[in-house]
Amino acid sequence: MIRRLVLDVLKPHNPGIVELSKELSELDGVEGVNIVTYEIDQKVENVKIILGGTNINFENVKKKLESLGAVIHSVDEVAAGTRIVEEVRTPQDRSARL
C-alpha cells in the first residue's frame, strides 16, 4: 500500500504541469499531487512529482506519465504501509557529509 511517492521526471514542455497534476490526481488511490519544476531546457523540463494517497499504484502512475510523453528518471522516495514514516537524520547522514 503505497502512501507517498516522490518521482524525478523528465517531460516535454507540453502538456504542462497543470495538466499533468490534474491527470495524476484523477488516478485511483491518489489523493493529492504536487509538482515542482526545477530545471528547464530548450525542449524538455525536469520536475519533481510528489503523490500522496491511500493506495497509489506505481504501474498506473508510470503508464499515465508515459501516455503524457514523460519518463521517470528515478523514484526518489516511497512511503508505504498504514502509517507514513518520515525521513529522519541519522549519524550516518552526518558522517557522510563530513
Partner 1 sequence: MNFLEKIRDYIRISRIAPISRRYFIMNAFDGAMTTLGIVVGAYVAGDPEPLFIISAGLGASLAMGLSGFAGAYVTEEAERKRELESLEQSMLKNLEESVIGRASRFASLWAGMVDGVSPALAAIVCLAPFFLFSTLFAIQLSITITLLVLFLLGAFLGKVSSRNVFLHGMKLLCVGLILALILLVFKSVY
Residue 67 Cβ, how far from partner 1 at the closest point, in Å? 6
Query: Does 44 participate in binding partner 1 (rule CB under 8 A)?
Result: yes
Cell of 61: 502512475
* Sequential DSSP letters for 15-82: S-HHHHHHHHHTSTTEEEEEEEEEEE-SSEEEEEEEEEEEEE-HHHHHHHHHHTT-EEEEEEEEEESS
Residues 50-69 that bind partner 1 (CB under 8 A): 66-69
Query: Does 32 participate in binding partner 1 (rule CB under 8 A)?
Result: no
Query: Does 40 participate in binding partner 1 (rule CB under 8 A)?
Result: no
Query: Does 36 participate in binding partner 1 (rule CB under 8 A)?
Result: no
Q: Which residues bind partner 1 (CB under 8 A)?
A: 10, 12, 14-15, 41-44, 66-69, 71
